[in-house]
Amino acid sequence: MYAIAFPAIDPVAIGLGPIVIRWYSLAYIFGIVLGWRYAMRIATRTDGRIDRAHIDDFVVWATLGIILGGRLGYVLFYQPGYFTSHPLEIFKMWKGGMSFHGGVLGVLTALWIYCGRRQISRLSFADLICAAAPIGLFFGRIANFINGELFGRATDVPWAVVFPRGGPLPRHPSQLYEAALEGFALFIVLAALIYGINALRRPGMISGAFCAGYGIARFSIEFVREPDAHLGTLLGIATMGQLLSLPLIAIGLWLIFQARWKT
């Protein structure tokens, strides 16, 4: 059986005495900064509905939504029993444990409040944020691979990897699959909609394409991703990631359907 040895990449990117900066942290920083710059660029295609200054102001809101929502989502969706018994562990985010679906809810909450205060079209603003989101997803999944976490199921494909935490069996590098589909491919699809058919003129189109695209990609990759040990498959049918992706797909398709008649 062929397998690729896991690359010995130190999860710590920079260590200066007690100051430690991990690749995972840098992934969040790179994703947020590059996403912010990209959203600023495409804001000019909203026909003046969204001012670039609003993107600047929302960066802090989005960061808080990602971190707080992602952590609370992990606590509620994946290990509620454990964190109920150990509430102080909720604040120890350096030990890992973030949920994409929780991060989505966190950013949506921040967006809803922010746009309400600024009297901005929520759908138009959400389109810009969703267009930039795959950038952060790409870097985040690469960081998951560097950490050797969230790996796939055992397999005999030629590109299988033996992960330090995954035992002796070679496994699917599902983090790289997700980086390719949820990050790179989804970004290209959304960019094609923006620059090809000027989809930002139809509020909700990009948001819907992002939700549906991410949901389909995540649902598909879950078939080769190792389920969480403490959850396994729910109802003997699907993983938690698949169940949480189904509403995203439904909402995304509904938004696309509604946006077809909007300009």
Query: What tens digit of pLDDT does each residue of 153-195 get?
Result: 999 999 999 998 888 899 999 999 999 999 999 999 999 999 9
> Does residue 219 carry a pLDDT above 60?
yes
Instruction: Kindly indicate the confidence band of residue 38, based on its pLDDT and cuts at 50, 70 and 90.
Output: very high
For the chain, the average pLDDT equals 89
Q: How far apart are CA 172 and CA 241, in angstroms?
A: 17
What is the pLDDT averaged over residues 15-27? 84
More confident residue, 223 or 8: 223
Write the CA distances from 74 to 101, 147, 228, integer angstroms. Answer: 9, 18, 12
Q: How far apart are CA 260 and CA 134, in angstroms?
A: 23
Give the tokens for residue 132.
Answer: 């930039």
CB neighbourhood size of 88 (10 A): 7
Give the tokens for residue 214.
Answer: 């991410």
Contacts of 212 (CB under 8 A, 6+ apart): 248, 249, 252, 253, 256
User: What is the model's pLDDT at position 177?
Assistant: 97
Residue 102 · residue 70 · CB < 8 Å:
yes
Instruction: Kindly indicate the confidence band of residue 248, based on its pLDDT and cuts at 50, 70 and 90.
Output: very high
Instruction: Kindly indicate the confidence band of residue 225, based on its pLDDT and cuts at 50, 70 and 90.
Output: very high
> Does residue 52 carry a pLDDT above 80?
yes
- Which residue, among 253, 8, 214, 60, has the nearest Cα to 131 in the 3D structure? 214
Residue 259 · residue 109 · CB < 8 Å:
no
Give the tokens for residue 87.
Answer: 């509430």
At position 96, the amino acid (one-letter code) is: G
User: What is the model's pLDDT at position 231?
Assistant: 66
Give the tokens for residue 205.
Answer: 């189109």
> Does residue 102 carry a pLDDT above 60?
yes
User: What is the model's pLDDT at position 230?
Assistant: 62
Q: Which of 70-79, 120-129, 199-208, 224-233 has the lowest mean pLDDT?
A: 224-233
Write the CA distances from 40 to 129, 179, 223, 259, integer angstroms. Answer: 10, 23, 36, 22
User: What is the model's pLDDT at position 72?
Assistant: 87
Contacts of 261 (CB under 8 A, 6+ apart): none
> Does residue 73 carry a pLDDT above 70?
yes
DSSP 171: B
Q: How far apart are CA 6 and CA 144, in angstroms?
A: 13
Q: Which of 49-63, 136-150, 202-216, 235-249 has the lowest mean pLDDT?
A: 235-249
Residues in the chain, overall count: 263
More confident residue, 214 or 166: 214
Q: How far apart are CA 80 and CA 99, in angstroms?
A: 13
Q: Which percentage of the chain shows pLDDT scores above 90?
A: 60
Residue 114 · residue 106 · CB < 8 Å:
no
> Does residue 108 carry a pLDDT above 60?
yes
Task: Provide the whole-model pTM.
Answer: 0.87
